[in-house]
Structure 1
Amino acid sequence: MQKYILFTVLSAIFIVFVGMGIIVPILPIYAAELGATGFALGVIVAAFALSGGLLQPFVGSFSDRHGKKGFLITGLLIFGLTGYTYTLASSVGHMVLIRTLHGAGSAMIVPIAMAYMTEISAGKNVGRYMGMLNIAIFSGIGAGPVLGGFFLDLWGRNSAFYTMALLSFLAAALVALVLPGRDSLTIEEEQGSMLSVFARMLHHRKVMGILLARMATMIIMVPTFAFLPLLMTRHMTASGTEIGMVIASRTIVNALFQMPFGSLADRYNKNRLLLLGSTIISIGIFSVPFAVSFVTLLLLFALIGLGEAISWPAMGALAAEEGHLYGQGSMMGVFNTAMNTGIFVGAMGVGALVDVLGIAWAFYLVAGFLFSSAIIAAAMIRPRKKTCISTGDKS
């Protein structure tokens, strides 16, 4: 049964992220056509992150108590609905509302899938299983932009949104037909009230370090998805297909190296892998504005993907270790709220600065923030040296 659950979860996640990736090259251009400034584009990105971030801890906690299947199906159905409603937007305000609904759907997909993967692993080779999940996510996102750019050039933007809706409904049907009605995996013991669980997590130094790392690594999504298409169209007169290929180079490299680095995370120091990967990502992001050609950008985004392949399985495995203490759904909900927080903060802050300083600064500032945050997070995650006299948290 666990093999069927594993196949179904990975297949559903791959399908839905292909759908999400399809709209990546199109959304910023669509928003600009509706009159979005750099700040407004940041708000559109932030709306997705805000609704998803607020809901994920509660969805995760409820799933620990009431089962995961219903939440996963609901999230996939919301994704399908938003795929259609994107085609109806006629103003920036409409786009913000649609992105808010889209974010609510994401709150019921990613943390639930992560909790499933952690429970399937039964505490063994967690990095490897997180690598599998990341392969499904990044393979989907990697294939999606290429298809999205192709659709944009050939049939126009609405074809991509319709495809996203169809793929999301297909994933929902797959989950409904295959996954058991109640979770057949080990159910976490009650950890106390929802708020008390969250309070204990947020007072734990190691957990806060993991959340800081998660937030910082996700801020890079803002310049990558929101401003890279504009940078390429304005300075390189790039086609939709070329934009999709650059974005895909990052996600495909990421997917290809998830398994080896996931297995390495099970044997090696996860904290060091997290710091190494974050440093590589920072270098790649900082270098983007200096790129002078399509090929240069392909190589830089492949480098960024390599950094993510090193850091993401280690980060997910660290979170899974803490999930044994707090409940996997609860931990993954908070873990992904940190992700959405990074996107929200980056979208609002970077979007406003782009209007004043220019697109290049979106990449410089994000790179600097990621590098400094990675150093701080590594210090928080690293176990404290034991002393003869107890002085507090030994995590």
Structure 2
Amino acid sequence: MKKTIKEQNAALIILLSNVFIAFLGIGLIIPVMPSFMDIMHLSGKTMGYLVAVFAVAQLLMSPLAGRWVDRYGRKKMIIIGLFLFGISELIFGLGTNVLMLYISRILGGISAAFIMPGVTAYVADITSIQERPRAMGYISAAISTGFIIGPGIGGFIAEYGVRMPFFFAAAVAFLACLSSIFILKEPLTKEQLAEISANTKQTNFISDLKRSLNSLYFIAFIIVFVLAFGLSAYETVFSLFSDHKFGFTPKDIATIITISSIFGVVVQVFMFGKMVDILGEKKLIQLCLITGAILAVASTVISSFLAVLVVTCFIFLAFDLLRPALTTFLSKAAGKEQGFVAGMNSTYTSLGNIVGPAMGGILFDVNIHYPYLFAAVIMVIGLGITVMWQEKQFAERLAE
């Protein structure tokens, strides 16, 4: 019998810290990127490519990383991911030419592909089916909190030099790596890992994608893509939309995003588990998609600061609840294939993160309302897809 969350406190704290540090490191650099662009004489196109290459590296590595999580163990992949993340931040901080920056971003994408499946599979291994929603909610909250706190800390550290946030991010990543080496214990035995690996055929990226079309997983993966697509498109144009339509200052925009993110984290930590118990994953996901679609349309007709704040709070909350609900559903459906499913979860997220910002930017140039209307259409399509969910097959997998 698996231990309760309270009995797994030490491991959970380290795992949540690892995820928090990874996303804190990503958030840390946000305030200094404009200054960094000026110092390095980088164009907006180059910055866009640097964002894209991270997502592409994560996309290509995620299925392989998920496979390695099942073969070599969760702990090893988490430690390697944190080490690579530290190296990538260090290279970016020391970067004197664009090639070094590209190498840094590629390593960063690979590190993200290692960390997330490793942490998700580890949490699934040490929690019961009943407690898993709460644990996945904690992971999602750690991600959101890292994003919230990161820019603020980055802005403060930048007072000591524009490259300092990168060095700080590298330092905390190496610290997390060391703590994981000494505190985390591999949740599965060598025999269990060998059994999982033996039952899994050797595959490549294309065959893994084909395998993800399995009806048990595919609809959830499509919703993962919709979530990443919608959220990244929304976030990409939010500041531009707020500036062009409402004339909001950077401080106004930062205030809205911070309050909305904190609201989402509080609900995730204290209410997500109860909401899953009451509604179940499928109904919660459908509710979030309906809410997201309605509020995306509402974003095009509101005008006051308070209205924008309220709408943004709830649309962020819908996305914040979707992420752990989907992760929980997939971890339950995965059975012994936790690494594969967590890796493909990361793959579909990366696909959404590549396509979403590009589509959002293109549509924004046509009409500032189009990205939100398009996001609403995508979410309605996602809602329609959930109707086809094969719950009977899912229930049979849980009973195995």
Identify if the C-alpha distance between structure 1 residues 246 and 169 changes in structure 2 by more than 3 Å, giving closer, same or farther: farther
Alignment-derived partner of residue 325 in structure 2: 314
Aligned to 2:184: 179
Q: Aligned residue for 2:218?
A: 208
Q: 1:373 aligns with which of 364, 368, 382?
A: 382
Structure 2 gap ranges (5+): 1-6, 394-400
Which position in structure 2 is the counterpart of 1:71? 77
Q: Name the structure 1 match of 2:232.
A: 222
2:175 is aligned to 170
Name the CA distance, whole Å, in 2 between partners of 1:170 and 1:247.
29
Q: In 1, Cα distance between the equivalents of 2:102 and 2:358?
A: 13
Contact 1:25 / 1:229 at 8 angstroms: preserved in 2?
no
Write the deviation string for residues 292-331 of structure 1: whole angstroms up to 9, x where unpaired. 5655443333112321343233211210122105x11111
Contact 1:142 1:250 in 2 (8 A): no
Instruction: Indicate the SS of the match to 1:195.
Output: coil
For these two proteins, the number of residue pairs brought into alignment is 379
Aligned partner of 2:10 in structure 1 is 4
How much does 1:91 deviate?
A: 7.0
Q: 1:294-333 alignment to 2 at 5 Å?
A: 295-324=306-335, 327-333=337-343
Query: Secondary structure at 1:373's aligned position in 2?
Result: helix
Q: Is the 8 A contact 2:234 2:360 kept in 1?
A: no
Q: How does 1:122-201 map to 2 (within 5 A)?
A: 122-149=128-155, 154=159, 157-180=162-185, 183=188, 187=192, 189-190=195-196, 191-195=199-203, 198=208, 201=211
Q: Describe the SS at the equivalent of 2:391.
A: coil
Question: Greater shift after overlay, 124-133 or 191-200?
Answer: 191-200
Identity over the aligned pairs, expressed in percent? 24
Q: 1:200 to 1:83 in 2, by over 3 A?
A: closer
Corresponding residue for residue 3 of structure 2: none
* Cα distance, 1:267 vs structure 2: 4.6
The match for 1:337 is: 347
RMSD of aligned Cα (Å): 3.3
Q: Which amino acid aligns with 2:179?
A: L
* Structure 1 residues 170-208: Cα deviation after superposition (integer angstroms, max 9, x where no partner): 221221221126746993542221429837743422311
Cα distance in 1 for partners of 2:310, 2:102 equals 33
Q: Identify which of 118, 128, 132 aligns with 1:112.
A: 118
Alignment correspondent of 2:249: 238
- Aligned partners of 2:133, 2:122: CA distance in 1, in Å? 14
For structure 1, the 5+ residue unaligned runs are: 386-395
The 2-side partners of 1:215 and 1:32 are apart by 34
Q: Relative to 1, partners in 2 of residues 1:276 and 1:26: Cα closer, same or farther, differing over 3 Å?
A: farther
Distance change (3 Å), C-alpha of 1:266 and 1:380: same
The question of whether the paired residues in 2 share the 8 Å contact of 1:246 and 1:301 is answered with yes
**In 2: Cα distance, 1:93 partner to 1:359 partner:** 34
Worse-superposed segment, 95-104 or 328-337: 95-104
Q: Distance between the aligned counterparts of 2:332 and 2:94, measured in 1?
A: 43
Instruction: Check the 8 A contact 2:231/2:319 in 1, yes or no.
Output: no
Shift of 1:161: 2.7
How high is the TM-score relative to the length of structure 2? 0.82
Contact in 2 for aligned 1:210/1:315 (Cα 8 Å): yes
Q: Distance in 2 between matches of 1:95 and 1:199?
A: 29
Q: Deviations over 1:60-93 (max 9, x none)?
A: 1111121122211121122222223334556777
Question: What is the rounded CA distance, in whole Å, between the counterparts of 2:58 and 2:140 in structure 1?
Answer: 19
The TM-score, its normalising length taken from structure 1, stands at 0.82
Counterparts of 1:283 and 1:32, CA distance in 2: 40
Contact 2:117–2:343 (8 Å) recurs in 1: yes
Q: What amino acid sits opposite 1:71 in the alignment?
A: M
- Offset of residue 379 of structure 1: 2.2
For residue 140 of structure 1, give the secondary structure of its aligned residue in structure 2: helix
Look up the match of 2:49: 43
SS at match of 2:114: coil
Question: What is the aligned partner in structure 2 of residue 391 from structure 1?
Answer: none
Cα 1:44–1:372 shift into 2, 3 Å: farther
CA contact under 8 A between 1:18 and 1:143: conserved in structure 2? yes
Greater CA drift, 9-18 or 204-213: 9-18
